[in-house]
Structure 1
């Protein structure tokens, strides 16, 4: 009996430093360049989330831009530490890439440990007023060049789907590191618009371009309209068949997990629960909400458990409908 007790004690002591040691530094990796929407939200979150974790660890934000966030997602999936010291935020559509492109070796969105989302979002397509595009219907009659950050990002997927489903003539210029570079390209006249721009990010970073008439909002991309845009149509309003509407809704379902945060696969459940609790507390923190309001950032958080449900539901979509949506992205 004494030997059994001693062995159990030794095992406990051997395990506890790893299982229960507090994290000294939390690294938040961002799959876009500095200054883009994902980066802005991550730096807002970094002000508070450490205070709501045991031991109040320091929080460091790092950028790993590339392929619309796929570079970071792949790194989290295969390389990142799995001890609760690392989380990442990347293009919301990346969670569904494995579903839509099963032949490719993209990370499976169900494998990540979802911590939460900063907002339940609506995205938009916009055109600079210097272009001839004034309405969504104009996009079905004449071309508009739009910038994109990579095949896994909304700025590529959304215009591609609109071209395939609704017959728009969006010409996609791919390869920009992130949203900030696309915005600069619009100002320089390299491209004339952007499709797949989160409304909250647009308002926070370039709302003046809309208010002063230099940029036009053409259509909303989401499951419901944003309260700020009651007179701007949803893309689904232009669907002519139920299959078209269903394909659009499959793609736009990701908007409910607008600014998602994930821990790597294999992170212990206790660490995931700890991160989810810290995220929920941080996004309800009055200081964070005040800072968000001051910066013009919208915070309508979605729990990690609900993000997980969104991803799981998408992966249960009937195969014929997935095939239809997937073919549009080829």
Structure 2
């Protein structure tokens, strides 16, 4: 087939546009998804599920675990990368909304340096006691804690975490002087609760649910908006009268601010389609995560709303920010 000079010029123009298109990198370059935690953890599991789903929706994602400093190293690595969409961050939302209020200094500003790409899922937190605990309900636990200080301790994965503040808010609302016991990670706290060393543990629901189902722990309440089918008979803190204790954790993808808007929109479409697919949604539910999606605008609004909410909670608690 012969090509006219005008057609040839048109082809050259199209090629030039493609070379400068924000989508050009995707044709020969895999998107690196930074995860600030070790392989096998919650953020890593969610990131790999999304990456698997996105492969059939226009992009190829490779998870890059960059653990350290509670996820902050991966966040800093995103800020150091070009704003071209080739590097994204999968993170618990709390790393961007709570951390600014519990650390004196951070090397990044989540309200200025990030743009929401897509939401993957959320998870609840739960309060549990050992199987041999006399407390069968949250009221019974609080009554025991009110009468006996040794029963008022609750363990969490660490100071300054969402779980730390859930315990503080519960103690304040119930007028029971609950005592926080910070651990270096949730596993040790769970082990001590199972062994009866720790009266109560507050941590992520996916970590507690298998132990509840096997009878090693007893979940007394969850921090979700509504009860979960996987926990028949287990109430929400809200249903027990603690309306301020609807606190969940969102896992979402973020890019650097300045990433081309058309690319962010296309990534959002791909992530949304992946999470809503039967395969990925079923996988996330099996792991006790609630699949959720959002537009980039809704995700950015959630970031700002939760940032403001945590600011109020942390200030009201009197928590002293730590060095980052």
Shorter-chain TM-score above 0.5: yes
Q: Is residue 302 of structure 2 the alignment partner of residue 310 of structure 1?
A: yes
Q: Structure 2 stretches of 5 or more lacking a match?
A: 1-8, 320-324
Report the equivalent of 2:257. 265
Q: Is residue 72 of structure 2 the alignment partner of residue 70 of structure 1?
A: yes
- 1:297 is displaced (CA, Å) by 4.2
Is the Cα–Cα contact under 8 Å of residues 72 and 88 in structure 1 kept in the other structure? Answer: yes
Q: Structure 1 stretches of 5 or more lacking a match?
A: 1-5
Equivalent position to 1:156, from 152, 164, 175 = 164
Report the equivalent of 1:79. 80
TM-score, reference length from structure 1: 0.72
Q: C-alpha distance in 1, partners of 2:167/2:184?
A: 15
Structure 2 counterparts to residues 9-158 of structure 1, below 5 A: 13=16, 16-17=19-20, 19-23=22-26, 24-53=29-58, 56-57=59-60, 59-76=61-78, 78-97=79-98, 100=101, 104-105=105-106, 107-111=108-112, 112-131=114-133, 133-137=135-139, 138-139=141-142, 140-141=145-146, 142-149=151-158, 151=160, 153-158=161-166
Equivalent position to 1:301, from 265, 276, 292 = 292
- 1:280 is displaced (CA, Å) by 0.7
Is the Cα–Cα contact under 8 Å of residues 70 and 90 in structure 1 kept in the other structure? Answer: no
Structure 2 counterparts to residues 217-232 of structure 1, below 5 A: 217-229=219-231, 231-232=233-234
1:57-78: CA deviation from partner (whole Å, max 9, x where unpaired): 3x222223334333433443x3
Q: C-alpha distance in 1, partners of 2:159/2:313?
A: 21
Is the Cα–Cα contact under 8 Å of residues 186 and 193 in structure 1 kept in the other structure? Answer: yes
Counterparts in 2 of 1:149 and 1:47: CA distance versus 1, 3 Å? farther
- 1:168 is displaced (CA, Å) by 5.2
Q: C-alpha distance in 2, partners of 1:70/1:26?
A: 20
Equivalent position to 1:279, from 271, 274, 284 = 271
RMSD: 3.7
Is the Cα–Cα contact under 8 Å of residues 134 and 218 in structure 1 kept in the other structure? Answer: yes
Q: C-alpha distance in 2, partners of 1:64/1:186?
A: 30
Larger radius of gyration between Structure 1 and Structure 2: 2
TM-score, reference length from structure 2: 0.73
Q: C-alpha distance in 2, partners of 1:228/1:71?
A: 34
Structure 2 counterparts to residues 159-174 of structure 1, below 5 A: 159-166=167-174, 167=176, 169-174=178-183
Is the Cα–Cα contact under 8 Å of residues 122 and 225 in structure 1 kept in the other structure? Answer: no
Is the Cα–Cα contact under 8 Å of residues 92 and 258 in structure 1 kept in the other structure? Answer: yes
Counterparts in 2 of 1:156 and 1:68: CA distance versus 1, 3 Å? farther
